[in-house]
């Protein structure tokens, strides 16, 4: 790989710093960011104190103890750096997730051998709302996305040097013990790469695919599925019982044979494909054809946004306010060039990987929308789909710039003659027009760069939308809310049960060590009279078992939106629901102006 120029290194460092800052910026406004941060603090503290995580867990995220990759990383860093568990929680995972832009650059540069593509891709991922919002949280999925990119990069490196297979295997194991949903996306991505590559490979790559890439990909897919199933079914048994059993009544008996049957079928399809003489020949499209694709993408993108505003997100009951348009238009404009990008990618030996990567996640999104799946919630796809989108954005921006700025004849098609690239096509001979090459002026390059940079900056500024765009969900915990948890730790009995919403239940569980209700006591908060909530107060089934609620915690943020189930809007408390706590059945124990604790009196 060629040595990067100084300006490329400087720009990449700047993008990395921006990526880190933008994922930590919410800590300026909040003491903690992320609705499940309390649970992860509990597990980090336990791992640091005991040296292991107990599987008998009474928190909401029943799978968290079984996927401790994030907790191992954060605890190891805390021990080696001598920092507190709190600082390890809020900084380590978001910073590592922010470094995903480095991996996106490396993947892009490995495939296209053009640092400009890598820089645009890294800049896009650094500010893309779905990726920023998700990866800014200290949660396993944030680290999982980073490890997924690491696996894809190592797969590409393994094509050239088999020594990278060992770190690929180790990274995969780290991912398996970190996050189950990311493993799903990696499995379908590798499978799609195999299918797309076999179906659409260029004739010049046939021998190379057969001898190296397909065998390596199939071997890796078998390894990936094997260790994932072994871990899911025989160690993370509650995950297998509760999630996978929704697909099969006896997970161990059916899933394992089915998985290997699919691998055998895939080998058989590869065999049949190789007996076919048909070859896919990518076309070189004209500028008019490419522009029409971009316009069509913009029309479809805007239509999807408008439909989302007028209806609900599939698989949820979440309604989005019209203000969402303001926050999604810039990112739609920025990534619109991906409509033209596959036309360029298919002329590269490894370009089909990015197309397959994006294509299979889009298929999963359509499946989620069609089935209303709550195991594969539609919005959970967004951080993952923006990883290949970022690469294709880089391809589209750079190649379209080259097409319009380096071509001497109008509508002469795009130019594919870069040195040291993995291109199949070295000249543009698809049109009658001759292509003359000239280096664009510095002013022209500067204007184009500034335009892309400004669009990226706008996306960065809008990367944290208001609550109306997110179904009313508040992810941040204020200093006063955090102080109320510390007060509860010092003043409430250890075996107490506190009713609150999901976010503050996580804080109470993690930082005060108290039983919490999460989404299992909605009437306590939304009920407008004591009679409505009395049954839940007396008996509520929570992860810790069936309990009697002793205390209630409400805060200003809870009043504005009660976060309960993740597929429902966070509805505000009505005025009667708030005022009922002023009745004689409740005694206010604590009030710091933002958070109030109540004890209910059972007459």
Closest CA to 7 of 118, 130, 104, 99: 118
Q: Are strands 515-516 and 476-477 parallel, antiparallel or unpaired?
A: unpaired
pLDDT at 30: 92
Q: Are strands 515-516 and 497-499 parallel, antiparallel or unpaired?
A: parallel
Write out the two tokens for 509.
Answer: 């569980």
Q: How many CA atoms lie within 13 A of 517 on its CB side?
A: 30
SS3 494: coil
Query: What is the pTM for the complete model shown?
Result: 0.90
Burial group, residue 212, by CB count within 10 angstroms (0-12, 13-18, 19+): middle
- SS3 state of residue 516: strand
Q: Distance (Å, rounded) from C-alpha 594 to C-alpha 300?
A: 44
Q: Burial level of 39, CB count in 10 A (0-12/13-18/19+)?
A: buried
Nearest residue to 187 via CA among 226, 238, 213: 226
pLDDT the model gives residue 315: 58
Structure tokens at 331: 């990112």
Give me 434's structure tokens: 């001759």
Longest Cα–Cα distance of the chain, Å, equals 92
What's residue 165's pLDDT? 94
Q: How far apart are CA 106 and CA 123, in angstroms?
A: 13
pLDDT score for 111: 93
Kindly list the strands in the beta sheet with 586-591, ordered across the sheet, starting from the edge strand earlier in the chain: 515-516, 497-499, 551-555, 595-600, 586-591
Q: Which CATH architecture has domain 478-600?
A: 3-Layer(aba) Sandwich (3.40)
* pLDDT for position 154: 96
361, 382 in Cβ contact below 8 A? no
pLDDT at 283: 75
| Encoded tokens for 273 | 């494909």
Give the 3-state secondary structure of 584-601: CCEEEEEECCCEEEEEEC
Domain map (residue ranges) of the chain: 6-470, 478-600
Low-confidence ranges of the chain (pLDDT < 70): 1-2, 202-211, 243-253, 310-319, 374, 406-442, 444, 602-603
* Secondary structure of residue 379 in the 3-state scheme: helix
Residue 348's SS3 state is strand
Give residue-wise pLDDT tens across range 398-448.
888 887 776 544 444 444 444 444 655 443 443 333 333 445 566 767 777
pLDDT of residue 408: 45
Name the CA radius of gyration of the chain, rounded.
26
């Amino acid at each position: 790989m060629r040595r990067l120029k100084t300006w490329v290194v400087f720009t990449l460092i700047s993008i990395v710093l921006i990526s880190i800052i933008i994922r930590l910026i919410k800590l300026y406004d909040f003491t903690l960011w992320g609705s499940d941060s309390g649970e992860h603090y509990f597990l980090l503290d336990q791992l640091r104190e005991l040296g292991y995580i107990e599987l008998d867990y009474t928190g909401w995220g029943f799978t968290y103890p079984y996927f401790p990759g994030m907790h191992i990383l954060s605890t190891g860093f805390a021990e080696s750096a001598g920092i507190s568990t709190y600082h390890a929680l809020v900084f380590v995972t978001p910073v590592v997730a922010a470094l995903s832009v480095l991996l996106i650059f490396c993947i892009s540069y490995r495939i296209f051998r053009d640092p400009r593509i890598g820089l645009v891709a890294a800049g896009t991922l650094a500010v893309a709302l779905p990726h920023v919002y998700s990866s800014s949280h200290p949660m396993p999925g944030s680290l999982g996305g980073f490890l997924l990119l690491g696996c894809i990069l190592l797969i590409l490196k393994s094509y050239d040097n088999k020594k990278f297979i060992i770190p690929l295997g180790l990274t995969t194991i780290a991912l398996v013990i970190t996050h189950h949903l990311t493993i799903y996306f990696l499995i379908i991505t590798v499978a799609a790469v195999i299918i797309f590559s076999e179906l659409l490979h260029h004739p010049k790559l046939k021998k190379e695919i057969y001898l190296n890439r397909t065998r390596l990909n199939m071997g890796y897919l078998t390894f990936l599925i094997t260790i994932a199933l072994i871990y899911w079914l025989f160690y993370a048994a509650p995950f297998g019982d509760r999630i996978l059993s929704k697909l099969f009544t006896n997970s161990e008996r059916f899933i394992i044979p089915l998985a290997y049957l699919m691998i055998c079928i895939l080998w058989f399809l590869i065999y049949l494909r190789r007996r076919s003489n048909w070859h896919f020949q990518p076309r070189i499209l004209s500028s008019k054809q490419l522009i029409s694709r971009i316009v069509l993408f913009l029309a479809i993108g805007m239509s999807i946004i408008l439909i989302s505003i007028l209806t609900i997100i599939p698989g949820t009951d979440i309604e989005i306010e019209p203000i969402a348009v303001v926050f999604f238009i810039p990112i739609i404009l920025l990534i619109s060039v991906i409509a033209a990008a596959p036309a360029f990618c298919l002329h590269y030996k490894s370009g089909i990987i990015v197309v397959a990567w994006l294509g299979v996640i889009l298929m999963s999104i359509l499946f989620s929308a069609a089935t209303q799946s709550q195991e594969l919630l539609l919005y959970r796809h967004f951080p993952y789909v923006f990883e290949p989108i970022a690469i294709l954005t880089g391809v589209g921006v750079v190649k379209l710039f080259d097409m319009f700025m380096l071509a001497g004849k109008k509508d002469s098609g795009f130019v594919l003659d870069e040195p040291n690239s993995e291109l199949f096509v070295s000249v543009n001979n698809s049109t009658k027009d001759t292509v003359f090459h000239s280096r664009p002026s510095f002013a022209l390059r500067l204007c184009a760069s500034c335009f892309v940079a400004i669009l990226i900056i706008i996306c960065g500024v809008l990367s944290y939308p208001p609550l109306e765009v997110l179904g009313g969900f508040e992810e941040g915990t204020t200093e006063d809310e955090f102080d109320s948890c510390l007060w509860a730790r010092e003043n409430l009995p250890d075996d107490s049960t506190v009713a609150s919403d999901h976010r503050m239940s996580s804080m109470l569980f993690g930082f005060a060590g108290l039983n919490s209700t999460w989404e299992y006591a909605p009437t306590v908060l939304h009920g407008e009279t004591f009679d409505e909530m009395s049954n839940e107060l007396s008996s509520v089934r929570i992860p810790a078992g069936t309990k009697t609620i002793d205390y209630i915690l409400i805060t200003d943020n809870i009043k504005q939106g009660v976060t309960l189930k993740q597929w429902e809007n966070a509805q505000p408390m009505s005025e009667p629901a708030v005022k009922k706590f002023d009745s004689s059945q409740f005694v206010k124990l604590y009030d710091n102006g933002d958070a109030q604790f109540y004890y209910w009196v059972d007459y």
